Amino acid sequence: MRGRFITFEGGEGTGKSTHSTLLADRLKSLGTRVVLTREPGGSPGAEVIRHVLLSGVAKPLGIEAEAVLFAAARGDHVRNTIEPALAQGVWVVCDRFLDSTRVYQGSLGHLDPLFIRALERVTIGDLKPDLTFVLDVPAEIGLARASKRRGERVADRFEAESRAFHEALREAYREIVAAEPGRCIAIDATEPKAAVAERIWKTVTERFDSTRVSSLPAGAAS
């Protein structure tokens, strides 16, 4: 049986890394085989492109070029990490995926939706997440969390955007949830981590049937 594909989305500091890791660990503790991955990145080729994108050196090339680079990274990630895992019955938990491009390059970058859809066709084809958690916190809370975590490190290309940019991000994610309520679940991530993790777990067990989640074949979880 094909694995399940779960993605985490949301703005800066909303808790995507935290909760994708917690979910993957909980699934593994039940014997489920899981790949925990992220975008941009998640495969050797895509990790190289990640560095180019987050360092900001691609910004002067323009928003279309950045979108093409995100797409190139995604194509490599899908071919080399995500699809092989799903085909072997391994679950994939991914920190950011196609909705990030729709929001950052589409809604916020004002790229033509047809261009975004064309990139999706060539990078992911028919592949869609089975479930997407959109973590929602006010921009000021997310930015404060991210800044605390960052410490003295310099803000990356996207962290350095304005408060208004991050508020617009939140709104764009809300529109995605409204447009695809079957796939996307909004989670109030202002609550303490444990409460957020419990809501996510409850959704996963309800969506995929708790008896099957816990009885998936045990194996070398990666």
- Bridge partners (DSSP) listed for residue 185: 133
Which tokens is 110 given?
């004002």
Q: Angle CA(94)–CA(181)–CA(76) in degrees, nearest 5?
A: 30
Q: Does 104 bind ligand Z5A (CB under 6 A)?
A: yes
Per CB under 6 A, which region of 29-37, 98-106, 117-125, 201-209 contacts ligand Z5A? Answer: 98-106
What torsion, rounded to 10 degrees, do the Cα atoms 82, 7, 144, 55 define? 30
- Least CB distance to ligand Z5A at residue 60 (A): 16
In 3D space, the residue among 92, 68, 69 whose CA is nearest the CA of residue 80 turns out to be 92
Based on the shown chain and the rule CB under 6 A, indicate whether residue 42 belongs to the binding site for ligand Z5A.
Answer: no
* Contact call for residue 16 and ligand Z5A (CB under 6 A): yes
User: What are the helix (H) ranges across 81-209?
Assistant: 83-87, 98-100, 113-124, 139-150, 163-179, 193-208
With binding defined as CB under 6 A, does residue 12 bind ligand Z5A?
A: yes
Q: How far is the CB of 217 from ligand Z5A (least distance, A)?
A: 29
- Residue 36: strand, helix, or coil: strand
Instruction: Give the β-pairing of 131-136 and 184-188.
Output: parallel
Q: Which of residues 143-172 bind ligand Z5A (CB under 6 A)?
A: 145-146, 149, 156, 158-159
**Minimum Å distance from CB 112 to ligand Z5A?**
16
Q: Which is nearer to ligand Z5A, 135 or 204 (CB)?
A: 135
Minimum gap (Å) between residue 28 Cβ and ligand Z5A:
18
Q: Which of 4, 28, 36, 40 binds ligand Z5A (CB under 6 A)?
A: 40
In the region spanning residues 54 to 73, those forming contacts with ligand Z5A, defined by CB under 6 A, are 54, 70
Q: Which is nearer to ligand Z5A, 20 or 32 (CB)?
A: 20
Which SS3 state, helix, strand or coil, does residue 95 take?
A: strand
Our finding on whether 5 is near ligand Z5A (CB under 6 A) is no
Binding part of the chain for ligand Z5A, among 101-109, 111-119, 173-181, 211-219 by CB under 6 A, reads 101-109
Tell which one of 37, 100, 123, 132 touches ligand Z5A (CB under 6 A): 100
d(CA 10, CA 178) in angstroms, rounded, equals 14
Work out the end-to-end distance of the chain between its first and last CA atoms, rounded to an integer number of angstroms.
18
Q: Are the beta carbons of 29 and 152 closer than 8 angstroms?
A: no
CA-CA distance, 62 to 53, in Å (whole number)? 12
* Interacting residues toward ligand Z5A by CB under 6 A: 10, 12-18, 39-40, 54, 70, 96, 100-101, 104-105, 145-146, 149, 156, 158-159, 189, 192-193, 196
